[in-house]
Amino acid sequence: MIRIECPWCGLRSETEFTCGGQSHIARPADPAAVSDREWAQYLYQRENPKGLHYERWRHTYGCRQWFNVARDTVTHEVRAVYRMTDPKPALGGEGA
Amino acid sequence: MDNLARRTVLASATLEREQFRVTENSALGLIRLQTFHRKPGAVDHLAARLGAPLPGPGTTRAGQDRQWFWSAPGEWVIAVRAGTEDVVLAELRAQLDGLFAVLSVMTDSRIVLDVGGASAREVLARGSTVDFHPSRFGAGSCVLTRFAGVPAMLACPYGGDVILLFADRSQARYLLEWFEAASVDCE
Amino acid sequence: MKQTLRRLPHARVDAGKPIRFTFDGQHYEGLAGDTLASALLANGVGVVGRSFKLHRPRGVLGSGKEEANALVQLERGEYTEPNARATLVPLYEGLEACGQNAWPNVHSDLFGALGLFKRLLPASFYYKTFMWPSWHRWEWLVRRIAGLGTAPQSADPQTYLKQNVHADVVVVGAGRSGLEAALEAARDSACRVLLIDEQEEAGGSLLASPSDADRAWLAAALREVAARENITRLQRTTVNGYYDNNVLAALERLGNHLGPAGAGPVRERFWRIFAGRVVLATGAIERPLVFPNNDRPGILLASAVREYSHRYGLTLGERIVFYTNNDSAWRTALELVEVGLPVTAIIDIRPAVDTALRQRAEDAGITLYPGTAVTNTRGRRGLRRLVLHRLTGQGEALGAPAGTLDCDVLAMSGGWTPTIHLYSQSGGQLRYRDGDACFVPERAHQAVTVVGRANGEFPEPLHLQPQWLTPGVSPEHQWVDFQYDVTASDIQLAARENFVSVEHVKRYTTNGMSVDQGKTSNVNGLGVLALATGRPIPEVGTTRFRPPYHPTTIGAYAGIELGGLYTPFQQLPAHAAHVAAGALFEDYGAWQRPACYPQPGEDEDAAVAREARAVRSAVGLLDYSPLGKLEVHGPDAREFLNRVYLNNIRTLEVGAARYGLMLNEAGIVIDDGVLVCLAEDHFLLHTTSGGASTIHQHLEEWLQCEWTDLAVIVNNATTQWATLMLSGPRARSVLQQLDSDIDVGREAFGHMQYRAGRLLGQPCRILRASFTGEVSFEISVPASCGQALWEALMQAGAAQGIVPFGIETLMLLRTEKGYLHVGADTDGNTMPQDLGWGGAVAKKPDDFIGRRSLSQPVGADPDRFQFTGLELLEPDARTVSGAHVLTAAGESTAGYVTSAYYSPNLNRSVVLGIVAGAREREGEVVTIFYAGRRQRARLVKPGAYDPAGEAFNG
């Protein structure tokens, strides 16, 4: 079981959270201006790294807040937890 | 025609065991206060107007005739005497006039259960993975967690083995039945 | 082995407390403190089971969790438990057990003849043989012969609980090392220590020690543990899983030692343990030696003989012989002699042994056979005689015969395997230690330390000389895995067939795959494979251990989440009133809602038809409380909602209501409902019943993750309010009887309007929308007044013929009207243009969630499934939702029926569906296919009832 440090509530079990998949995906500023291909990339194209993965989680059964988690997909180690409005930290060991 | 009567959700059904008990607490009225916490200084402004610090994450704090519970960033639940919600609401509205603060009565949407007895913490640990040991969940603690599969807020305002459980009103019967099954060994 | 209830002094059984039990229908007596295995041995029961594949008679092999042979069917009926290890079943009064995998019983098993065909049943026999013509042809036969115990046929009547616990230090195993670790950790009084041990009492291998010093040490240590307030003990508790983040799972047996009759309210407790640091003091398991017919009853692990002697006070036999490749068995033999057991010989594969040990053994009158191998065993149902050969060199080959040796117990030791299952589960790396021929912990992946024998720290050196199988004799009957009947020849066969990976060999031969998970067979199997493939053991590697370490009762995983508590349920504010009115409840999402209210003699269809007629002709009352009610606050609320809804929200005036559609970013319709502007910065959104929580989360996700600068707060107020739907031509006149400051008159309160005020002294909100097609008031009052409002409206409507109606009736009524139900009449591909909302999209000037996806090529596909009515051509025909609409050629699916009811108001079927290109095909006739039947239907506009839409204004 993964245990995650909610930025507000502290260390909790995975069962209290919802995983929202890859994080740091910017919505095109003007959707009408992007090509069909670019829009499809934004909607569906996701990383599937072996190693470090930046993803967003929500403490659904707690404070209901979304936040970012940098997680190693091999070891399940949570390398960093930071708020949605924080920049992506450089941690090294990005997966391939 | 008579005015509409209010009814408690569990109609005073309780669970009484030697080491464990659950009773519906119908003496509390609940108000929620929210602000736009991402705006810098928003929470401080609120506290300044209220003239008292607001409890931070994981805590509850007693105020004059009311108890404050942290329930999310920029969000608090205020427990008052049932029936006085409108009075407190008007008072808070006046204090917070001009700030972006959302006040809502939520008494009817929640059930409050008083959970007590020597086995209370042990039984609670059957429903949630939060650490309920008195050293981690003592006087002034308040957690939001997944309890018996549903979202709930648990607080220990005064310490000891008296714990308040807040959950959605529609799940009151489910929780009572769950407690009944989960405490079979507490006789 | 002969019957004796007389036990040796020192034994930890209570001679004053005899306990009666039955095995295979025979009555026996044991003593308090016995396990089923020790009691059977005390009674001279040699054969306790039959092997899995060949049905060979088997006796007790070990004394604990490593037991591979003594699997029994414990108790009967609903209490029965298959594959119980007799060595782990504490004896209780009235215990009933049977041997398994035998007919009529383990003593004389008719399938025992299979043993004669060992050569015909090698590894992979089933894979290779039962292929023709198909496995299914043979399955019934194989299933009858194979399998161990019998699964219970009825529900488990016992109660299981789940318990979470946090600890700073968790110590697994309360033998000497574990007790020391726990006491050490507990010196810090702030450190919460959890000490877990799986045996009936703490002490580990100290319980099998005849030494007074050991016993005194144990008693003192336990006193000190008891005195430490910061140590919590879990006895009779097996840690079965070690997961990420130092989360452990354990099973505590609370009532098992008392049997079905004496157990308390809870049988077992499943523990989920959150540990800061873990100390594994799990000990080591002795390995068997691999030699021909090493599975004969009477051949036990040396450690088991030691434990039966010192802990249970059993003599076991009249001539006990040891067979070993290391020093530990010598020490055991000498201990046994000291308490008076008849140890007659020690056979050691090593040509030379420590002189001191040798001298002591000779002094004890033990005959020694150094450099000797056991090459066969004899005896019909129990061991009678050993056949010996000399070994040459360091045991590589067989030399001259060395005669035979009579004995009735053979105590064997092939070395020790540290119990590193949990360590391996935790992700820790192992290292093979040549000297002791075992795997030991190398590098931990989590905060875990391994201590004592589990870490390969043996109290005295073993001087071990590995012998993975006996050379010079057929490997055919040299058992490696006793439980699954895997022999050395099976592993060699796998190697010959080019299975190289140890994981593949394990599965091909099933070595280590039985319920004991290879506790005694794993390392021996690796050794045989290493020899067969000419590789050293570290290169062969070991298989990865996975939870559970020991079989876990399924009931314990379920806990109390059974029956009514299987999943959380929600009840309506007026639940009691619905019960009183005879509601037929069904689950709609988590909500328990009335489907309808059958009267005596009515079935569900009849009740729905009666209720539907009443709503159309008079008035009905529905508990509509799950209708989603979200409140959106803030200076940016309007801007936010304009981005969320397909509809233009900029033009929605304060006090006005508007129907809206919500899409996800892929352009798919996810919700619809009426949106009310309560104030410039305050909106009330109605969502699909049961969808409130999902939509609330959807909105919060956009606010928290994407538009973080919008000052908006969304609250889910659904359960704050009880919402009742009063619907029908007489709805208004019923409502007018209730005191209110809201004028509900026809002119004052029109369709699609909203009012807030007071009703019978309580705050109330009323929305005039209609999902039935009749005049409807959706009245909300605080939830605690819901039941009172229900009663007030039923009373007020009595004279007007009011009836309560349920969800099934509502669904029939809205299907008659052709009203869309998102989730029922839409699927994961439905876009607004499929519902006739393409024009509204075009008119909206602003972007909104999902808009861009609508103009992707997929949005313009002419064969999109679109919402339509379907009129069945045959009079009185019926269909069901889920029926397929076929292509013109009739060969594939081009749509589905999504809602289908028989209308009591129109006396014909009313049907809705989604059909390819339906919006351009109105009037066409299509074929509906369901359960082998075909029907013809015409594509029509949705809404067969009151197409002009006059009723809801009425």
- Residues C544-572 have a mean pLDDT of 93
Q: In whole angstroms, what is the distance from residue C77 CA to residue C261 CA? A: 13
Mark yes or no for CB contact A16/B129 under 8 Å. yes
pLDDT of residue C205: 93
Q: How far is CA C614 from CA C768, C771, C774, in A?
A: 20, 15, 11
Query: Chain C residues with CB inside 8 Å of B168's CB?
Result: 570, 719
DSSP secondary structure letter of residue C720? G
From the CA atom positions of chain B, what is the Rg in Å? 17
Residue B96 has pLDDT above 80, yes or no: yes
**b/e map C509-524, b = 16+ CB within 10 Å:** bbbbbbbbbbbbbbbb
Mark yes or no for CB contact A66/C852 under 8 Å. no
| pLDDT per residue as tens digits for the range C577-636 | 999 999 999 999 999 999 999 999 999 999 999 999 999 999 999 999 999 999 999 999
Strand blocks (E) in C407-455: 409-413, 416-418, 429-433, 438-443, 448-450
Does the N-terminal peptide bond of residue C441 adopt cis geometry, omega within 30 degrees of 0?
no
Closest chain C residue to B122 measured between Cα atoms?
C163
pLDDT of residue C312: 96
Evaluate whether C884 touches C926 at the Cβ level (below 8 Å): no
Backbone angles phi, psi at C911, to 5 degrees: -135, 135
| pLDDT per residue as tens digits for the range C448-462 | 999 999 999 999 999
Q: In whole angstroms, what is the distance from residue C65 CA to residue C79 CA? A: 21
User: What is the pLDDT confidence band of residue C105, given thresholds at 50, 70 and 90?
Assistant: confident
Residue C164 has pLDDT above 80, yes or no: yes
User: What is the pLDDT confidence band of residue C148, given thresholds at 50, 70 and 90?
Assistant: confident
Give the three-class secondary structure for C254.
coil
| Burial classification of residue A29, based on how many CB atoms lie within 10 Å of its CB (0-12 exposed, 13-18 middle, 19 or more buried) | exposed
Q: How many CB pairs under 8 A join B and C?
A: 139
Element (H or E) spanning C220, and its range?
helix C212-227
Backbone angles phi, psi at B151, to 5 degrees: -70, 135
Write out the two tokens for C552: 């876990």
Q: How far is B165 from chain A (nearest CA, A)?
A: 14
Mark yes or no for CB contact C852/A27 under 8 Å. no
Q: How far is A66 from chain B (nearest CA, A)?
A: 11
Nearest to B187 by CA among B20, B1, B9: B20
Residue C121 has pLDDT above 80, yes or no: no
pLDDT of residue C132: 67
Residue C232, chain A, CB below 8 Å: the answer is no
Write out the two tokens for B18: 């030697």
pLDDT of residue C144: 64
Evaluate whether C97 touches C74 at the Cβ level (below 8 Å): yes
Residues found in chain B:
187
Tokens 């009115």 found at: C581
Closest chain B residue to A1 measured between Cα atoms?
B129
Alpha helices per DSSP H over C108-152? 125-129, 135-145
- Residues C100-106 have a mean pLDDT of 72
| pLDDT per residue as tens digits for the range B116-135 | 999 999 999 999 999 999 99
Q: In whole angstroms, what is the distance from residue C798 CA to residue C809 CA? A: 20
Residue A96 has pLDDT above 50, yes or no: no
| pLDDT per residue as tens digits for the range C899-954 | 999 999 999 999 999 999 999 999 999 999 999 999 999 999 999 999 888 888 76
Q: How far is C354 from chain A (nearest CA, A)?
A: 47
- Residues C246-268 have a mean pLDDT of 92
Q: In whole angstroms, what is the distance from residue C45 CA to residue C59 CA? A: 8
User: What is the pLDDT confidence band of residue B5, given thresholds at 50, 70 and 90?
Assistant: very high
pLDDT of residue B113: 97
Closest chain C residue to B168 measured between Cα atoms?
C719
Q: In whole angstroms, what is the distance from residue C450 CA to residue C439 CA? A: 13
User: What is the pLDDT confidence band of residue C768, given thresholds at 50, 70 and 90?
Assistant: very high
Evaluate whether B110 touches B25 at the Cβ level (below 8 Å): no
Mark yes or no for CB contact B171/C572 under 8 Å. no
Evaluate whether C223 touches C178 at the Cβ level (below 8 Å): no
pLDDT of residue C143: 67
Residue C61 has pLDDT above 80, yes or no: yes
Evaluate whether A78 touches A52 at the Cβ level (below 8 Å): no
Q: For chain C, what is the total number of helices (H) and then of strands (E)?
A: 24, 48
Q: In whole angstroms, what is the distance from residue A75 CA to residue C657 CA? A: 52
Mark yes or no for CB contact A63/B73 under 8 Å. yes
Give percent above pLDDT 70 in chain B: 100
Provide the mean pLDDT of chain C: 93
Q: Lowest mean pLDDT of C226-230, C714-718, C831-835, C885-889, name the range.
A: C885-889
User: What is the pLDDT confidence band of residue C759, given thresholds at 50, 70 and 90?
Assistant: very high
- Residues C148-153 have a mean pLDDT of 84
Closest chain B residue to C574 measured between Cα atoms?
B9
Query: Chain B residues with CB inside 8 Å of A9's CB?
Result: 57-58, 143-144
From the CA atom positions of chain C, what is the Rg in Å? 38
What do you get for the CA distance between the two ends of chain A, in Å?
24
Nearest to B158 by CA among B143, B141, B175, B170: B141
pLDDT of residue A92: 78
pLDDT of residue C50: 85
Give percent above pLDDT 70 in chain C: 96
Residue C85, chain B, CB below 8 Å: the answer is no
From the CA atom positions of chain A, what is the Rg in Å? 15
Q: In whole angstroms, what is the distance from residue C322 CA to residue C39 CA? A: 23
**b/e map B131-162, b = 16+ CB within 10 Å:** bbeeeebeebbbbbbbbbbbbbbbbbbeeebe
pTM (2 d.p.)? 0.94
Residues found in chain A:
96
Closest chain C residue to A44 measured between Cα atoms?
C666
- How many other CB atoms are there within 10 angstroms of residue C474's CB atom? 14
Query: Chain A residues with CB inside 8 Å of B58's CB?
Result: 9-10
Chosen from C168, C244, C643, C699 to mutate, greatest number of chain A CBs within 10 A:
C244
Evaluate whether C256 touches C90 at the Cβ level (below 8 Å): yes
pLDDT of residue C727: 98
| pLDDT per residue as tens digits for the range C1-47 | 444 557 988 899 998 999 999 999 999 999 999 999 999 999 999 99
- Residues C356-382 have a mean pLDDT of 95
Q: In whole angstroms, what is the distance from residue C792 CA to residue B38 CA? A: 46
Give the three-class secondary structure for C822.
coil
Evaluate whether A61 touches A8 at the Cβ level (below 8 Å): no
Residue C402 has pLDDT above 80, yes or no: yes
Nearest to A53 by CA among A27, A18, A91: A91
| pLDDT per residue as tens digits for the range A9-65 | 999 999 999 999 999 999 999 999 999 999 999 999 999 999 999 999 999 999 999
Structure ipTM over 0.85, yes or no:
yes
Q: In whole angstroms, what is the distance from residue C197 CA to residue C203 CA? A: 9
- Residues C391-398 have a mean pLDDT of 89
Residue A67 has pLDDT above 90, yes or no: yes
Q: In whole angstroms, what is the distance from residue C529 CA to residue C490 CA? A: 10
Strand blocks (E) in A1-96: 3-6, 10-13, 18-22, 52-58, 66-72, 78-83
Residue B163 has pLDDT above 80, yes or no: yes
Residue C749 has pLDDT above 70, yes or no: yes
Mark yes or no for CB contact A61/B145 under 8 Å. yes
Amino acid found at A1: M
Mark yes or no for CB contact B5/C713 under 8 Å. no
User: What is the pLDDT confidence band of residue C544, given thresholds at 50, 70 and 90?
Assistant: confident
